[in-house]
Amino acid sequence: MTAPTPAGTPPPDPRAGRFDQVVRGLQVSVLVVAVAAVLGDVLHGPAGRAAGWVLLATLVAVPVLRVLWFVVRWFRRGDPKFAFVGLGVLAVMVAGVVLSR
């Protein structure tokens, strides 16, 4: 990119915004949650509960996996400061769950 930089800001980076894998993962997750929610409402008994747990597991796992994806990406691309910030957030989440028990 050859555009001049606005005063006081770093230069724009052409690699910005290329998160195709995450976008696809999120789209698939929405489908999984939607199907699980429908089955959780329609089915009764153990099958309905199983669908409910799939829904719950997806809602919990996807944000965590999204952060992990960025942590790995940032470590690989030489941006360790923010990778450690991501790891810190995950560590606080785990600590919160442990302390609340």
Partner 1 sequence: MSLPVLALLGLLAALAGSLGGIGGATLLVPALLVAGMEPTVAAPIGLMVVGAGSLASGARQLNEGLVHHRIGLTVELAASVGVVGGALASTQVPEQLLAFVLAGAALVGAVAAFARKGMRNLPQAAFGEEAVTGEWPGTLGGQYRLGDQVVPYQARRVPLGMVLCLGAGVVAGLSGVGGGFLKTPAMSEVMHVPAKVAAATTTFTLGLTAATGLLVYAGQGRLELREGAAAVLGALAGGLLGARLQSSISPVTARRLTGALLLVVAAVVATRAVLA
Interface residues with partner 1 (CB under 8 A) are 1, 3-4, 6, 8-19, 22-23, 26-27, 29-30, 33-34, 36-38, 40-41, 48-49, 51-53, 55-56, 58-64, 66-67, 70, 74, 77-79, 81-82, 85-86, 88-89, 92-93, 95-97, 99-101
The whole-angstrom separation of Cα 70 and Cα 68 is 5
For the bound state, the minimum distance from the C-beta of residue 101 to partner 1, rounded and expressed in Å, comes to 6
For the bound state, the minimum distance from the C-beta of residue 39 to partner 1, rounded and expressed in Å, comes to 8
Task: Decide: 1 and 12 in contact? Cβ < 8 Å.
Answer: yes
For the bound state, the minimum distance from the C-beta of residue 50 to partner 1, rounded and expressed in Å, comes to 10
Please report which residue ranges of the chain form alpha helices under DSSP H.
20-42, 46-76, 80-99
For the bound state, the minimum distance from the C-beta of residue 18 to partner 1, rounded and expressed in Å, comes to 8
As given in the structure block, the two tokens for residue 27 are: 């789209």
The dihedral region occupied by 83, where left means phi > 0, alpha psi between -120 and 50, and beta the remainder, is: alpha
